[in-house]
């Protein structure tokens, strides 16, 4: 894999595996991704707090490198069906179609417009107005490293005092790691600064934290802030709606940001394939999706608050009650809360 192919990682839950199975593309996805079999929670000194299954019989959780996944999607759709390099500026709709205008002066018309244009969505701004995102209060420094440990299929999360270090496989030989610390948004950092800060704060944590960070090449180090938005009661109007981070941006703590976008896209396609009035179909889909994603936005936020907390009382609750009970229950059932029928 070339350096140009390396980017941040994505965790794809069992709901995504089931979605790609529905599309007949699961085997192709498995060629570029890595199975995540088990999640394990630990203290910084390596004491295990609990573990639980990530996959169920026939339904597999996976990790994948983001740009590799993007290329897979584009190649699967085919060059004739994907037009890249366009920047949306505005849209208009009438009774039968929607017109999308782009920065280069071109436009496109269609029966519906799905605003899947990310966290800073132009479609969302025109539909719902501008609003400030919520900063979660923790910054992440991340990396992708080549290691045989990726074959173990382990998602490990070490939780300390206002800090977390986690890692999971994103390819047959590739591991993605994240070091999260309570910080306000900051300036861009160079690779040597990223590595130095992570080693300073996590270098004495249980292995493989230090080994993963030290082995990561400069070109594979990143820094990112953590944001989300409060859930809203509507996503669309007429023949226009929102999808993914444009609709329900959530923190990474539940690992469902990308997964919910994919799940929503497959269910939206199913809804539209039934025919009928397009605006009615979009509202019916939204009615189902807004409730589910709003719960996950709040749940992800709650997980982040608890796991990043510096409170001694919260740490005791986390280590003695919450994680042991949660993993014990999930060890029996697996991630059933993520299951959905397509």
Q: CB burial class (10 A; 0-12, 13-18, 19+) of residue 337?
A: middle
Polymer length in residues for the chain:
342
Residue owning tokens 């990561």: 216
Q: Of 1.10.3720.10, 3.40.50.150, 3.30.9.30, 3.20.20.100, which CATH number belongs to 3-69+137-225?
A: 3.30.9.30
Q: Which residue ranges does the chain devote to CATH 3.50.50.60?
A: 85-133+228-310
How many Cβ atoms are within 10 Å of 312's Cβ, its own excluded?
A: 9
Q: Which residue ranges does the chain devote to CATH 3.30.9.30?
A: 3-69+137-225
- Within a 13 Å sphere around the CA of 249, how many CA atoms are in the beta-carbon half? 20
Residue owning tokens 């007429």: 238
Joined together, the tokens standing for residue 122 give: 């132009």
* Integer Cα distance of 126 and 149 in angstroms: 46
Query: How would you write the pLDDT of the chain (342 residues) with one tens digit per residue?
Result: 333 345 689 999 999 999 999 999 999 999 999 999 999 999 999 999 999 988 778 888 999 999 999 999 999 999 899 988 899 999 999 989 999 999 999 999 999 999 999 999 999 999 999 888 999 999 999 999 999 999 999 999 999 999 999 999 999 999 999 999 999 999 899 999 999 999 999 999 999 999 999 999 999 999 999 999 999 999 999 999 999 999 999 999 999 999 999 999 999 999 999 999 999 999 999 999 999 999 999 999 999 999 999 999 999 999 999 999 999 888 777 787 788 888
Q: CB burial class (10 A; 0-12, 13-18, 19+) of residue 250?
A: buried
**pTM: predicted TM-score of the whole model, two decimal places:** 0.93
Instruction: Give, in words, the CATH class of 85-133+228-310.
Output: alpha beta
H/E/C letters for each residue in 305-324?
A: HHHCCCCHHHHHHHHHHHHH
């Amino acid at each position: 894999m070339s350096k140009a192919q390396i980017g941040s990682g994505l965790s794809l839950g069992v709901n995504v595996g089931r979605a790609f199975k529905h599309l007949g593309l699961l085997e192709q996805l498995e060629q570029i991704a890595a199975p995540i079999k088990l999640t394990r929670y630990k203290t910084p000194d390596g004491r295990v707090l609990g573990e639980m299954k990530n996959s169920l019989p026939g339904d597999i959780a996976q990790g994948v490198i983001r740009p590799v996944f993007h290329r897979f999607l584009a190649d699967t759709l085919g060059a004739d069906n994907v037009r890249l390099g366009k920047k949306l500026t505005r849209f208009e709709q009438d009774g039968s179609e929607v017109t999308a205008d782009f920065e280069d002066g071109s436009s496109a018309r269609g029966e519906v417009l799905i605003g899947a244009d990310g966290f800073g969505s132009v479609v969302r701004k025109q539909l719902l107005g501008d609003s400030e995102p919520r900063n979660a209060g923790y910054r992440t420094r991340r990396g992708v490293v080549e290691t045989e440990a990726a074959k173990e299929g382990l998602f490990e999360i070490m939780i300390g005092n206002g800090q977390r270090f986690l890692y999971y496989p994103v390819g047959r030989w590739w591991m993605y790691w994240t070091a999260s610390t309570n910080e306000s948004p900051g300036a861009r950092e160079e690779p040597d600064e990223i590595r130095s800060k992570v080693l300073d704060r996590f270098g004495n944590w249980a292995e493989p934290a230090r080994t993963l960070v030290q082995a990561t090449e400069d070109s594979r180090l990143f820094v990112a802030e953590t944001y989300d938005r409060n859930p809203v009661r509507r996503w669309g109007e007429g023949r226009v709606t929102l999808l993914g981070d444009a609709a329900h941006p959530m923190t990474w703590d539940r690992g469902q940001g990308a997964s919910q976008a994919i799940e929503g896209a497959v269910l939206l396609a199913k809804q539209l394939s039934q025919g009928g009035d397009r605006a009615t179909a979009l509202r019916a889909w939204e009615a189902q999706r807004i409730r589910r994603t709003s719960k996950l936005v709040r749940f992800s936020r709650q997980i982040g608050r608890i796991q990043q907390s510096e409170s001694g009382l919260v740490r005791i609750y986390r280590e003695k009650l919450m994680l042991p009970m949660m993993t014990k229950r999930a060890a029996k059932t697996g991630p059933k809360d993520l299951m959905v029928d397509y």
